[in-house]
A = this chain, B = another copy of it.
Amino acid sequence: MSPHPRVGRDHILDTAESLFTEHGYKSASIREIARECGVTNAAIYYHFPNKESLFAEVMQRHAECLQDKMTRAGENIESPRERIIAILQAYIDVIAGQHAPLFMLRRNAKHLKGHGKHRGEFMQAISQPLVNALVFAKEMDEIKSTPSAEEIAAMMLGMLHGLAQQHRAAGVDGRALSDEDIQMAVNLFWEGIGA
């Protein structure tokens, strides 16, 4: 029988996530995470070989949670364009709701070995529901066949981030992107800016 059967991975991951987001990757130690969980360091190392692997799993869980919310937001929406808008609204909802912790986590991702690759995989994971919706839109002949769904997804997400940044710089109160902003941006991209 394992020596630490009652300290679940999920509990460790929850604790690590809040300490990483509060104090940053560098400052949060395994010792502190163990103390917060009420266990010994060994109990943490039983599940994770080192701090880096623990952090990588926190990031992966975060990506899966976001992915899941986006996928569910698009379910049962027949119109490809409406489905895409709903998925993007779910994405922005999560970003807006957990702005600080989320960006803290992502910023800290530079401490991971091969962080370029990690970052790429992370971005790919969180854009997957949008890519799927764009593939569906292509199958329905609602959007152009080129460029690839991956490229369109990246352009759409980039567009929204750019718009959010502009709103923040212009001092827009409250959420940087409302549901109407997202709808406007997607409709504009769909129909074109040309008069």
Contacts and interface: CB of A to CB of B under 8 A. Distances in A.
Interface of A: 81, 116, 119-121, 123-124, 141-145, 147, 150-163, 165-166, 168-170, 184-185, 188-195
A127 to B, nearest CB: 8
Contacts of A143: 193-195
Nearest to A127: B166
A119 B168 CA distance: 10
B120 A185 contact: no
A156 B162 contact: yes
A147 B172 CA distance: 15
Nearest to A110: B107
Task: Identify the 3 closest CB pairs spanning chains A and B, nearest first.
Answer: A158-B162, A192-B192, A120-B169
Contacts of A163: 151, 154-155, 158
A106 to B, nearest CB: 13
B142 A184 contact: no
28 contacts: A116-B168, A120-B170, A123-B165, A123-B166, A124-B169, A141-B195, A143-B194, A143-B195, A144-B193, A144-B194, A144-B195, A150-B166, A151-B166, A154-B162, A155-B163, A156-B159, A156-B162, A158-B159, A158-B161, A158-B163, A159-B162, A189-B189, A189-B192, A189-B193, A190-B192, A191-B192, A191-B194, A192-B192
